[in-house]
Amino acid sequence: MRFLIVLMFFLLYFKSFTQSFRISIFTESTIKSITLQPGLGTYFLMNDTGFVRKIVPSDFITVNLGISNKLDVKLNNNYLFSSIKVYLFHEKSENNLKLKPVTPSFKERSYEGDFELLNKGGKIQIINLIDIDQYLEGVVESESGLGQNLEYYKVQTVISRTYALKYKNKHLSDGFNLCDRVHCQAYQHRRLSATVIDSAVRQTKDLIMLDEKKKLYATYFHANCGGQTCQPDYVWNEKLEGFDSFKDTFCIRTKQARWEKRIPINEWKAFMVNKYDFPIWDSLSNYQLYNFQQSERHAFFIHPFYGIPLRDLRETFQLKSTFFSCSIEGESVLLKGRGFGHGVGLCQEGAMNMSRKGYDYQQILLFYYPKMQLYIQTDRLNRKM
User: Does residue 15 touch Zn ion according to CB under 5 A?
Assistant: no
Least CB distance from residue 288 to Zn ion, whole Å? 28
d(CA 212, CA 198): 30
Which residue, 53 or 255, has its beta carbon nearer to Zn ion?
255
Which residue, 251 or 313, has its beta carbon nearer to Zn ion?
251
Which residue, 72 or 349, has its beta carbon nearer to Zn ion?
349
Q: According to CB under 5 A, which one of 101, 323, 350, 368 is a site residue for Zn ion?
A: 350
List Cα–Cα distances, 138 to 22, 92, 133, 152, 261, in angstroms: 14, 18, 9, 15, 34
Least CB distance from residue 168 to Zn ion, whole Å? 11
Least CB distance from residue 139 to Zn ion, whole Å? 12
Least CB distance from residue 198 to Zn ion, whole Å? 25
User: Does residue 202 touch Zn ion according to CB under 5 A?
Assistant: no
127 sits in the region (left: phi over 0; alpha: psi -120 to 50; else beta) called beta
User: Does residue 183 touch Zn ion according to CB under 5 A?
Assistant: yes
Give the DSSP letter string of 266-279. HHHHHHHHHHH---
Which residue, 68 or 173, has its beta carbon nearer to Zn ion?
173
Q: Count residues binding Zn ion (CB under 5 A).
A: 8
List Cα–Cα distances, 124 to 11, 22, 26, 28, 64, in angstroms: 25, 15, 9, 11, 8
Which residue, 138 or 350, has its beta carbon nearer to Zn ion?
350
Least CB distance from residue 90 to Zn ion, whole Å? 24
User: Does residue 257 touch Zn ion according to CB under 5 A?
Assistant: no
Least CB distance from residue 349 to Zn ion, whole Å? 6
SS3 282: coil
Which residue, 27 or 47, has its beta carbon nearer to Zn ion?
27
By CB under 5 A, the residues from 285 to 314 that bind Zn ion are none
Q: According to CB under 5 A, which one of 36, 63, 159, 184 is a site residue for Zn ion?
A: 184
User: Does residue 337 touch Zn ion according to CB under 5 A?
Assistant: no
φ/ψ (deg, to 5) at 324: -140, 160
d(CA 132, CA 22): 10
The H-assigned helical ranges of 167-251 are 195-203, 232-236
Is 140 within 8 Å of 154 (Cβ atoms)? no
Is 134 within 8 Å of 96 (Cβ atoms)? no
The H-assigned helical ranges of 91-149 are 132-144
User: Does residue 179 touch Zn ion according to CB under 5 A?
Assistant: yes
Q: Which of 285, 290, 276 is nearest to 336 (CA)?
A: 290
User: Does residue 251 touch Zn ion according to CB under 5 A?
Assistant: yes
Binding mask 216-235 for Zn ion (x = CB under 5 A): ---------x----------
Which residue, 207 or 344, has its beta carbon nearer to Zn ion?
344
User: Does residue 341 touch Zn ion according to CB under 5 A?
Assistant: no
User: Does residue 354 touch Zn ion according to CB under 5 A?
Assistant: no
Residues in the chain, how many?
385
Binding mask 70-109 for Zn ion (x = CB under 5 A): ----------------------------------------
User: Does residue 248 touch Zn ion according to CB under 5 A?
Assistant: yes
Q: 267-274 long-range CB contacts below 8 Å, 24 or more apart?
A: 268/333, 271/316, 272/308
d(CA 46, CA 379): 30
Question: Which stretch, 4-12, 98-106, 197-205, 246-254, contacts Zn ion (CB under 5 A)?
Answer: 246-254
Residues that bind Zn ion (CB under 5 A): 179, 183-184, 225, 248, 251, 347, 350
